[in-house]
Amino acid sequence: MITIKQLSRRSLGAAAVAAAGATLAVSLGLTGASAATAAPVTAAAPASGHSFTFALVPSPGIKACLPHIGGRVTITPGSQNDLMQVSIFGAPRNAEFDLFVIQQPDKPFGVSWYQTDVNANSHGVGSASVRGVFDRETFSVSPGGTTTFAPTHQYHLGLWFNSPKVPFNLGCEPGAPAPVVTPFNGEQHAGIQALNTAEFPVNAGPLSHVDR
């Protein structure tokens, strides 16, 4: 069940996307249908203390049902934390997504940390900005409690469909008798992964290239 707080956040996000979509399209050099056909950004060489931009690429099987989907991420290091700016294009109209910082780009994903919603507008374009530690120092640890694990770096990103029905209805799960459900949203009832950072090696994801 979606709580009142979650409804409010997603409703506000949907309204903001409508206004931000045009700005994003201009900043990417996109208008109208061209937004859905833009190519992903190629990862640039990182430099300490400078912004680092890299692509979000389609997850396995996604390009067959969403041939133009992609994304771009820019991380700008700060003195205390980092600014991560995420944009997506070529997504289903008005679709909602959930972004995670993850240990590895593909299954089984490893240690995963929920960051933000990214909602597409009527042109399939969306964006979000998040502040946190998104660099070579990003890690999780559980010294004890219900789960125990040693310090573990998470250097990759993954974007999941918020609704399991969306990719299923688009034919992204050929042969599946029902929508595939994953735990990658606030209700732990999300769809499959749409985008990730698999252009980078498993043990050297894009966040490992950012240095404050």
Task: State in words which class domain 4-209 has.
Answer: mainly beta
Specify whether the CB–CB gap between 54 and 41 falls below 8 A. Answer: yes
Question: What percent of the chain has a predicted confidence (pLDDT) above 90?
Answer: 76
All structural domains of the chain with their residue ranges? 4-209
Q: How far apart, in whole angstroms, are the C-alpha atoms of residue 118 and residue 161?
A: 10
Other Cβ atoms within 10 Å of 21 Cβ, number: 23
The H or E element spanning position 73 is strand 70-77
DSSP 8-state secondary structure symbol assigned to residue 38: P
Q: What is the pTM (predicted TM-score) of this model?
A: 0.80
pLDDT, tens digit, 9 for 90 and up, residues 47-102: 456 899 999 999 999 999 999 999 999 999 999 999 999 999 999 999 999 999 99
Q: Is 107 helix (H, G, I), strand (E, B) or coil?
A: coil
Other Cβ atoms within 10 Å of 19 Cβ, number: 10
73 strand-pairing partners:
54, 86
Nearest Cα to 173, choosing from 29, 65, 76, 78?
A: 65
Q: What is the mean pLDDT of the chain?
A: 85
Q: How far apart, in whole angstroms, are the C-alpha atoms of residue 74 and residue 146?
A: 35
Q: How far apart, in whole angstroms, are the C-alpha atoms of residue 70 and residue 53?
A: 14
Residue type (1 letter), 125: V
pLDDT, tens digit, 9 for 90 and up, residues 107-139: 999 999 999 999 999 999 999 999 999 999 999
Residue type (1 letter), 142: S
Q: The tokens 């309204």 sit on which residue? A: 15
Least confident of 26-40, 91-105, 119-133, 180-194: 26-40
